[in-house]
Amino acid sequence: MKNKSCRLTTGQALVRYLGRQYVERDGKRNRFIEGIWGIFGHGNVAGLGQGIVELSRAEGLRFYKPQHEQAMVHTAAAFAKHRNRLATFACTTSIGPGAANMVTGAAGATVNRIPVLLLPSDYFANRVPDPVLQQLEHTIERDVSVNDAFRPVSKFFDRISRPEQLLASLQEAFRVLTDPADTGAVTICLPEDVQAEAWDWPEEFFEQRIWHVRRPVPEPELVSKVVTLLKEAKRPLIISGGGTIYSEASSELGRFIEAFGIPIVETQAGKGVLPWNHRFNAGPVGSNGATSANSLARKADLIIAVGTRLSDFTTASKSAFQNPSVRFVGVNVAPMDASKLAGLPVVADAKRALPVLSAALTDAGYKGSEAAYREEVSSLKADWDAKVTELRTPAEGPLSELAVIGIVNEAVGGNATVVCAAGGMPGELVRLWRPEDPKAYHMEYGFSCMGYEIAGGLGVRLAEPEREVVVMVGDGSYLMMNSEIVTAVGEGLQLTIVLVDNHGYQCILGLQRAVGVSDFGNELRYRDQKSDQLTGAYIPVDLVKHAESMGAHAVFAQTAKEVAGAVKKARQTGGVTVVVVPVDPEKRMPGMGTWWDVPVAEVSAEEETRKTRERYEEATSSQRPVFV
């Protein structure tokens, strides 16, 4: 018997399919694709674009138009991150440059393991008009297009040269998108002629589909091994990453550490899993870490890494763990992450694994860490908290970026979501911001992509309209990508943006000094006519006028009172408010004995560089590239 079918174009069928995909986890169900973001060109306006016009409203998919293709991927990723990867957006572009503009966003999503569905258009499958406007004519490989640049940055890649290929392709695309270990950017390239081509689609293809988001349980054999390891450990420590938050395992983690007196330290993606003032939360670990967390990490003999990819910032480029007999356990849905640092790979979901471990430990008579260790944790934590308070407190004279962070945090509280990605602020926020909720700290520090901040803030705002959102952005990031303010204004969204102006790329300038190079090419300065270098006066950019021109309310605030007042007022004013805060670039975060591996020139005519190289070589000797 022939099944019923319906005749639709590829573009129409795709829209219908997207509207009917749901996810389910812990018995809760929601639509997976919340809407479609797109910028049209000849590649998609008649194909998928026509499908969107005709069907998206009926399918409950709202269409959004950003100002930049890269930005819309950041928005989609931020939305998905805030929703713990249980929902995202689809993003459509034209061919060539529109598609290429999404590659950076795709990489960011994949690096951070965040689902985004990317639908770049591609040149004609029939190749009759070749080369179509914007087509890359590869001289040897005729089937290569600009879109092949998505391959290394996607977790799934396909090119649809016949409509019916969508049947199998979308099935796999959604499996990857909704799988906690495999997820990332999923790219389906759509040749412009195929988008407009009709086919008889089986009705079943459009039935509502519910994707179960798995929570793998730990293997009992490995649970026993963890029990043995913990019973032997004197200084156990948990590193908690973004995975713990995506898994919604805050309560399970809290119960586990309370039961056994094991402290946690946080990564950038994992910050906020427990409130900053939880007695066993020893703060951020690694290169931008707290003295408390780093002291515990240095001496730990057993580290349980939960939901973290153990990036170089977390491990201080593999120098953070100095106990000769330290062992690692990796609790992670992704086998690659579970096995890092030669860890015992407990491939499991955090929310499932922690109670299982807890029960096994109790059964085995494990009483938890010793009193002296717990006391050490509290005393380290108390010292660190006092240090944070001191660093956040405004001093005399022009504001420091550190003080601005404290002022803004005080003004919005511990439940508003702070959004940031690149510059000096991520390293400062991770130490100084005090979140009181797992969704109060949104840092994109896997790719640390300049330009994510405002677009990301927009995504968070859409993901949870009730919560206050404050974007912290440096002048460099702002100048690179600010035009999503127009999108937020157009959508009537409230967004508070704190724009910290220190005349350029001050974190890289600080790094430059740290690697023994003199100040060069990082500040926003005129070319000096005499030296022919970028050493002239600061280029005055009127950031207030700039923000105003896009429809934002803009406020210049240079004292603690003005900053706090402007931030508080922003929420009542509604719409987008940009608070421009000038800060003293030389009031930097003091050194805290941490390290990040950035290689220093091995030979140089500069004495300073040679000395720095000596110190660098000394520092690398504390790296441990191999663990057993």
Residue with Cβ nearer ligand TPP (109 or 257)? 109
How far is it, in rounded angstroms, from Cα 347 to Cα 331?
Answer: 6
Q: To the nearest whole angstrom, how small is the minimum distance from the Cβ of residue 518 to Mg ion?
A: 19
Distance (Å, whole) CA 481 – CA 559 = 26
Residue 217: which of 351, 64, 57 has the closest Cα? 351
Is position 242 an interface residue for Mg ion (rule: CB under 5 A)?
A: no
d(CA 184, CA 608): 43
Distance CA 436, CA 434 (A): 7
Q: Minimum CB separation from ligand TPP for residue 117, in Å? A: 22
Which of positions 435-454 make contact with ligand TPP (CB under 6 A)?
Answer: 448-451
Of these, 187, 240, 502, 522, which contacts Mg ion (CB under 5 A)?
502
Q: CB neighbours (10 Å) of residue 63?
A: 15
Q: Is 429 in the site for ligand TPP (CB under 6 A)?
A: no
Write the burial class of residue 148 (CB in 10 Å: 0-12 exposed, 13-18 middle, 19+ buried): middle
Q: Which of 66, 96, 414, 424 binds ligand TPP (CB under 6 A)?
A: 424
β-bridge partners, 23: 30, 211
CA distance 264 to 284: 9
Q: Which does 98 bind (CB under 5 to 8 A by kind): Mg ion, ligand TPP, none?
A: none
Q: Which stretch binds ligand TPP (CB under 6 A): 267-275, 419-427, 558-566, 586-594?
A: 419-427
Q: Any contact of residue 451 with Mg ion (CB under 5 A)?
A: no
CA angle 90–33–550, rounded 5-degree value: 55
Which is nearer to ligand TPP, 289 or 423 (by Cβ)? 423
Query: Min. distance of Cβ 75 from Mg ion in angstroms?
Result: 23
What residues between 51 and 80 interact with ligand TPP by CB under 6 A? none
Q: How far is the CB of 480 from Mg ion (least distance, A)?
A: 11
Contacts of 57 (CB under 8 A, 6+ apart): none
Residue 449 interaction partner, one of Mg ion, ligand TPP, none, beta carbon < 5-8 Å per kind: ligand TPP
Based on CB atoms, which residue is closest to ligand TPP, 121 or 496? Answer: 496
Tell me which residue of 22, 332, 55 sits closest to 174, measured CA to CA.
22
Pure H helices in 316-364:
335-338, 350-363
Using CB under 6 A as the binding rule, the residues of this chain from 502 to 521 that contact ligand TPP are 502, 504-508
DSSP state of 72: H
Q: Measure the CA–CA gap between 577 and 487, rounded to whole angstroms.
A: 13
Task: State the Cα angle at 557 between 556 and 559, rounded to 5°.
Answer: 155
Note the Cα 317 to chain centre separation in Å: 19
Minimum CB separation of residue 210 from Mg ion in Å reads: 46
Least distance from C-beta 500 to Mg ion, angstroms?
A: 7
Span near ligand TPP by CB under 6 A; candidates 121-129, 392-400, 469-477, 606-614: 469-477
Q: Identify the three-state secondary structure at position 498.
A: strand
Q: Which is nearer to ligand TPP, 309 or 503 (CB)?
A: 503
In angstroms, what is the minimal distance from the CB of 500 to ligand TPP? Answer: 7
Given ligand TPP, Mg ion, none, residue 400, with its beta carbon under 5 to 8 Å by kind, binds: none
Report, in Å, the least distance between residue 512 CB and ligand TPP. 11
274 makes contact, choosing from ligand TPP, Mg ion, none, with CB < 5 to 8 Å by partner type, with none
The reply to whether omega before 129 is within 30° of 0 (cis) is no
Q: Quick one: tokens of 389?
A: 């308070």
Number of residues that bind ligand TPP (CB under 6 A): 18
Nearer to Mg ion, 266 or 453 (CB): 453
Ramachandran category for residue 63: left, alpha or beta (phi over 0 → left; psi -120 to 50 → alpha): beta
Q: Which is nearer to ligand TPP, 180 or 474 (CB)?
A: 474
* Min separation Cβ 303 and ligand TPP, Å: 28
Instruction: Considering the complex, state which of residue 202 and residue 521 has its C-beta at the smaller distance from Mg ion.
Output: 521
Q: What is the DSSP string of 118-134?
A: EEEEES-SS-TTPSPTT
What's the sign of the alpha-carbon dihedral 314, 317, 323, 329? positive
Binding to Mg ion in span 470-499, by CB under 5 A: 474-476
Of the two residues 223 and 449, which places its CB atom closer to ligand TPP in the complex?
A: 449
Which of 423, 435, 457, 582 is in the footprint of ligand TPP by CB under 6 A? Answer: 423
Pick from 414, 474, 516, 582 the residue near ligand TPP by CB under 6 A. Answer: 474
Could you tell me if residue 580 is left (phi over 0), alpha (psi between -120 and 50 degrees) or otherwise beta?
beta
Q: Which of 421, 89, 43 is nearest to 269 (CA)?
A: 421
DSSP codes of every residue in 378-393:
HHHHHHHHHHHHHHHS
Which residues are registered as beta bridge partners of 30?
Answer: 23
Q: Which phi and psi angles does 472 have, rounded to 5°? A: -110, 120
Which C-beta is closer to ligand TPP: that of 64 or that of 505? 505
Residue 424 binding target from Mg ion, ligand TPP, none, CB below 5 to 8 Å by type: ligand TPP
Window of 8-16, 76-84, 483-491, 501-509 that interacts with ligand TPP by CB under 6 A:
501-509
Q: How far is the CB of 589 from ligand TPP (least distance, A)?
A: 10
Residues binding Mg ion: what is the number (CB under 5 A)? Answer: 5
If DSSP codes are grouped into helix, strand and coil, which group holds residue 36?
Answer: strand
Q: How far apart are CA 266 and CA 430, in angstroms?
A: 9
Partner interacting with residue 160 (select from ligand TPP, Mg ion, none; CB below 5-8 Å by kind):
none
In one-letter notation, the amino acid at residue 22 is Y
Assess 414 for contact with Mg ion (CB under 5 A): no
Pairing between β-strand 441-443 and β-strand 209-212 as defined by DSSP bridges: unpaired
Strand partners, 24: 29, 212
Q: Cβ of residue 433: shortest distance to ligand TPP, in angstroms?
A: 15
Judged by beta carbon, residue 163 or residue 476, the one nearer ligand TPP is 476
Given 273, 408, 422, 463, the residue binding ligand TPP (CB under 6 A): 422
| Of 109, 113, 135, the residue nearest 124 (C-alpha) | 135
160 vs 402 by CB, closer to ligand TPP = 402
3-state secondary structure 154-214: CCEEEECCCCCHHHHHHHHHHHHHCCCCCCCEEEEEEEHHHHHCEEEEEHHHHCCEEEECC
CB of 64 to ligand TPP, least distance (A): 23
Site for Mg ion, rule CB under 5 A:
474-476, 502, 506
List residues near ligand TPP by CB under 6 A: 422-425, 448-451, 474-477, 502, 504-508
